[in-house]
């Protein structure tokens, strides 16, 4: 309550010290930013290559235009990318069910041990970028669509299982206790008590993840898994810049289709 | 009762078998060998155990690599700052209720945000590397585009949820566009802006660890070099260091967002 008894002078003093603190903070922040601009951008860039902006414009002009000749060869990879995203999401869902079961505090079987194990799996899955997952799986199972599917699945496990286990933890306890009191086993509790409650959230999450996975599966080809990423990689290495633009247009189109579909599906379900 | 149960079962059976048949067709179409698919997990475990396992931790503590971590961090926040400045303007244009011109500004803002979002950050990196050359300028530009997509979408959704009564009152009293933004909109979205900003920083840092793989500098460059040289122990050390840093940044961003939400309430 002492704040009300402050005089005008005290108040201005307090205010000025606050402003001073703010000024110091912002000066340091701006200094740090300028330092990193200097080191990262000015020192590190090959300005000779860029020239006087003319080089950039010239390079950009290569990308203008579409290569219609490669379009028929892009339909199969586009479909492949789409299927990779679908299968990857599905596999990710299947793998994330046990992880979510272990990672929910109220149903985990071994207490703290299994809970923290599942949380660790989720964190690892989320913090490794999809490109790294794809690299590892290309090393493990070879080239093709399979490492892409596995990488997408492993990457989605973290997000899907985190949402599922959080919704299991937030599920209404009354039906669960009723089933338990009536003599239901652990499976009965799961099947009749928890799953009907969490189903809408889970389906929404899966659609969301599927939408993101389309985006991700378009770059899987850059490190050796198939799909549009491989077509992009090839066009880039052949220096066929209009072809690169065409592939990017295909990717954007595919993602727009996915976005519209997921929007429509989510509206229908929720 | 029994009949319903039976019919339901038959329906379920048909549905399930159709589902598996479709998956089988997908596998055929993608040319995936079933043997390869089922031995994948075993191979993955073998690869981790035989190649990646003795993690070469001293490599991750070398000064050159530590400097590259610093580069990645700086690239992350430079991209974030430029991206957020651009994305805020675009989000203001792309918010259906606040946009100054519904005919021209709204579609342009929306399209640019969707376009920036739909291209993955690695593809942005490759494109910018071909335009401005190898180095961290390309990485910063790629992260800028990534931030425009990510931040723009979240922030424009936040702007669309603004309470319009205040804004309408100000407009009807003759406030201009700047005043409406400064006194009507900004106080409402300030908290959300900071929260989204911190979240975007987290995601952007995560992206900045990998974009070096395609020619922008930072940790990704070390990753690429060691992957190409088949130095598995060093690769696993780098991956491990990325995991640690990402967990750290995630915890930091969660803590800061928590603090800000608590301070404002």
Residue B202, domain extent: 57-264
Residues A127 and A180 in one domain: yes
> Which chain B residues touch A123 with a CB distance below 8 Å?
243, 247, 250
Q: Give the Cα separation of A92 and A152 in Å (integer).
A: 7
Give B6→chain A minimum CA distance, Å. Answer: 19
Whether B17 and B111 map to the same domain: the answer is: no
Same domain, residue pair B34 and B66: no
Residue A228 and residue A116 share a domain:
yes
One domain, residues B128 and B8: no
- Kindly report the CATH number assigned to the domain that includes residue A202: 1.10.3720.10
Q: Is residue B216 part of a domain?
A: yes
Say what the pLDDT of residue B197 is.
Answer: 92
Q: B142 falls in which pLDDT band (50, 70, 90)?
A: very high
pTM exceeding 0.90 = no
Check if the beta carbon of residue B52 is closer than 8 Å to that of residue B236. Answer: yes
Residue A61: inside a domain: no
Residues in chain A with CB shorter than 8 Å from the CB of B132 are: 45, 49-50, 56
Residues B106 and B71 in one domain: yes
- State yes or no: pLDDT of A140 exceeds 50: yes
Kindly state whether residue B61 falls inside one of the protein's structural domains: yes
Given a cut of 90, whether residue B146 has pLDDT beyond it is yes
Same-domain pairing of B23 and B62:
no
Greater pLDDT, A164 or B7: A164
Q: Which two tokens stand for residue B32?
A: 């995936």
Cβ neighbours of residue B46 closer than 8 Å, sequence gap 6 or more: A140
In this complex, is the C-beta atom of B67 within 8 Å of any C-beta atom belonging to chain A? no
Q: Do B62 and B143 fall into the same domain?
A: yes
Please report whether residue B173 resides in a domain: yes
The distance of Cα B201 from the centroid of its chain, to the nearest Å, equals 10
Closest-CA residue to B150 (of B129, B124, B175): B124
Residues A223 and A100 reside in one and the same domain: yes
β partners of residue A144: A225
Same domain, A40 and A172: no
B62 and B22 in one domain? no
For residue A268, the tally of other CB atoms under 10 A from its CB is 8
Express each pLDDT in A201-237 by its tens digit: 888 889 989 988 998 999 888 888 888 999 999 998 8
Domain for residue A193, yes or no? yes
Where residue B6 falls among pLDDT bands split at 50, 70, 90?
A: low
d(CA A201, CA A87): 20
Q: Which of B80, B254, B229, B65 is nearest to B150 (CA)?
A: B80
Q: Is residue A57 part of a domain?
A: no
Q: Are residues B161 and B110 in the same domain?
A: yes
Mark yes or no for CB contact A150/B43 under 8 Å. no
Asked, for residue B259, whether it belongs to a domain, the answer is: yes
A193–chain B Cβ distance below 8 A for any pair: no
Q: How far apart are CA B40 and CA B34, in angstroms?
A: 10
Of A40, A150, A218, nearest to B140 by CB-CB distance is A40
Could you say which of A36, A56, A136 has the minimum Cβ distance to residue B131?
Answer: A56
pLDDT of A4 > 60? The answer is no
Give the closest residue to A164 by CA, choosing from A201, A190, A189.
A201
In the stretch 196-255 of chain A, residues with CB closer than 8 A to chain B read 215-216, 218-219, 222, 226, 232, 236, 244, 248, 251-252, 255
Say whether both A10 and A41 belong to one domain.
Answer: yes
A215 domain-assigned: yes
Tens-digit pLDDT profile for residues A142-183: 888 899 999 999 999 999 999 999 888 888 888 888 888 888
Only one residue has tokens 């973290």, namely A158
Does some domain include residue B50?
Answer: no
Report the number of distinct structural domains present in chain B.
2
Confidence tier at A1 by pLDDT (50, 70, 90): very low
Query: In this complex, do A127 and B75 lie within 8 Å of one another by their Cβ atoms?
Result: no
Residue among B30, B77, B119 whose CB faces A252 most closely: B119
Task: Indicate if A159 and A41 belong to the same structural domain.
Answer: no
Instruction: Please state which of the ranges A245-254, B2-11, B122-131, B205-214 shows the lowest mean pLDDT.
Output: B2-11
Of the pLDDT bands very low, low, confident and very high (cuts 50, 70, 90), residue A50 is confident
Q: pLDDT value at position A7?
A: 65
Residues B254 and B129 in one domain: yes
Neighbours of B149 (CB within 10 A): 24
Does residue A186 lie within any of the structural domains? yes
The radius of gyration computed from the CA coordinates of chain B, to the nearest angstrom, equals 25
3-state helix, strand, coil in chain A (%, to 5): 85, 0, 15
The answer for residues whose C-beta is within 8 angstroms of residue A252's C-beta and 6 or more apart is B115, B118, B119
Residues B147, B186 share a domain: yes
Do A161 and A214 have their domain in common? yes
Tell me which of A6-10, A118-122, A177-181, B148-152 is least confident: A6-10
In a domain, B9, yes or no: yes
Q: Inter-chain contact B136–A226, Cβ cutoff 8 Å?
A: no
Domain for residue B51, yes or no? no
- Structural tokens at position A149: 């599917």
Contact B247 A86 (CB under 8 A): no
- Clarify whether residues A13 and A109 are in a common domain: no
- Domain that includes residue A127, residue range: 68-269
Q: How far apart are the first and last CA of chain A?
A: 48
The C-alpha of B19 sits at a distance from chain A's nearest C-alpha, in angstroms, of 12
Q: Is the pLDDT of residue B2 over 90?
A: no
Q: Are residues B213 and B156 in the same domain?
A: yes
Q: Are residues B33 and B111 in the same domain?
A: no
Phi-psi region of A171 (alpha: psi -120 to 50; beta: other; left: phi over 0): beta
Domain count, chain A: 2
In a domain, B48, yes or no: no
By C-alpha distance, the chain B residue nearest A56 is: B131
Rounded alpha-carbon distances, angstroms, from residue A258 to A55, A213, A231, A255, B201? 36, 10, 20, 5, 26
| CATH number of the domain that residue B118 is part of | 1.10.3720.10
Same domain, A259 and A188: yes
Q: Which region among A144-153, B34-43, B121-130 has the lowest average model confidence (pLDDT)?
A: B34-43
- Does residue A46 sit within a domain? yes
Instruction: Say whether residue A36 is in contact with chain B using an 8 A CB cutoff.
Output: yes
């Amino acid at each position: 309550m002492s704040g009300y008894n402050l005089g005008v002078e005290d108040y201005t003093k307090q205010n000025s010290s606050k402003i001073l603190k703010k000024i110091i903070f912002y000066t340091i922040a701006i200094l740090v930013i300028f330092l990193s601009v200097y080191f990262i951008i000015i020192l590190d860039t090959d300005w000779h290559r860029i020239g006087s902006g003319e080089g950039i414009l010239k390079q950009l002009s290569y990308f203008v235009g579409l290569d219609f000749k490669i379009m028929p060869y892009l339909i199969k990879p586009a479909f492949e990318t789409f299927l990779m995203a679908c299968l990857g999401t599905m596999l990710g869902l299947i793998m994330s069910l046990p992880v979510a079961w272990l990672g929910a505090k109220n149903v985990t079987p071994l207490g703290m041990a299994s809970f923290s194990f599942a949380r660790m799996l989720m964190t690892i899955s989320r913090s490794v970028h999809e490109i790294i997952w794809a690299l590892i799986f290309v090393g493990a199972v070879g080239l093709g669509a399979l490492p892409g599917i596995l990488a997408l699945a492993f990457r989605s496990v973290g997000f899907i299982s985190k949402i599922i286990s959080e919704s299991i933890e937030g599920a209404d306890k009354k039906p669960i206790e009723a089933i338990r009191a009536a003599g239901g086993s652990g499976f009965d509790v799961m099947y009749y008590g928890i799953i009907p409650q969490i189903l809408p959230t889970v389906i929404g999450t899966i659609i969301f993840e599927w939408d993101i996975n389309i985006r991700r599966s378009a770059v899987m080809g850059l490190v050796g898994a198939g799909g549009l990423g491989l077509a992009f990689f090839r066009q880039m290495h052949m220096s066929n810049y209009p072809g690169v633009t065409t592939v990017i247009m295909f990717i954007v189109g595919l993602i727009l289709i996915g976005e519209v579909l997921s929007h429509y599906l989510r509206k229908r379900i929720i | 009762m029994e009949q319903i149960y039976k019919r339901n079962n038959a329906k379920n059976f048909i549905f399930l078998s159709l589902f598996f048949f479709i998956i089988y067709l997908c596998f055929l179409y993608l040319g995936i060998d079933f043997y390869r698919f089922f031995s994948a997990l075993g191979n993955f475990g073998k690869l981790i155990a035989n190649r990646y396992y003795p993690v070469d931790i001293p490599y991750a503590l070398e000064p050159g690599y530590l400097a590259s971590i610093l580069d990645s961090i700086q690239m992350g926040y430079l991209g974030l700052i430029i991206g957020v400045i651009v994305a805020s303007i675009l989000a203001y244009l792309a918010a259906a209720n606040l946009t100054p011109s519904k005919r021209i500004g709204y579609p342009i803002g929306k399209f640019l945000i969707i376009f920036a979002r739909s291209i993955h950050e690695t593809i942005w990196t490759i494109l910018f590397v071909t335009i401005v050359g190898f180095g961290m300028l390309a990485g910063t530009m790629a992260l800028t585009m990534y931030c425009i997509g990510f931040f723009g979408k979240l922030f424009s959704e936040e702007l669309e949820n603004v309470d319009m009564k205040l804004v309408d009152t100000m407009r009807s009293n003759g406030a201009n566009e700047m005043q409406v933004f400064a006194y009507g909109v900004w106080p409402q979205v300030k908290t959300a802006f900071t929260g989204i900003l911190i979240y975007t920083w987290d995601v952007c840092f995560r992206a900045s660890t990998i974009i070096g793989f395609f020619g922008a500098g930072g940790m990704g460059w070390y990753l690429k070099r060691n992957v190409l040289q088949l130095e598995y122990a060093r690769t696993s050390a780098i991956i491990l260091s990325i995991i640690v840093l990402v967990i750290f940044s995630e915890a930091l961003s969660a803590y800061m967002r928590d603090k800000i939400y608590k301070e404002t309430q």
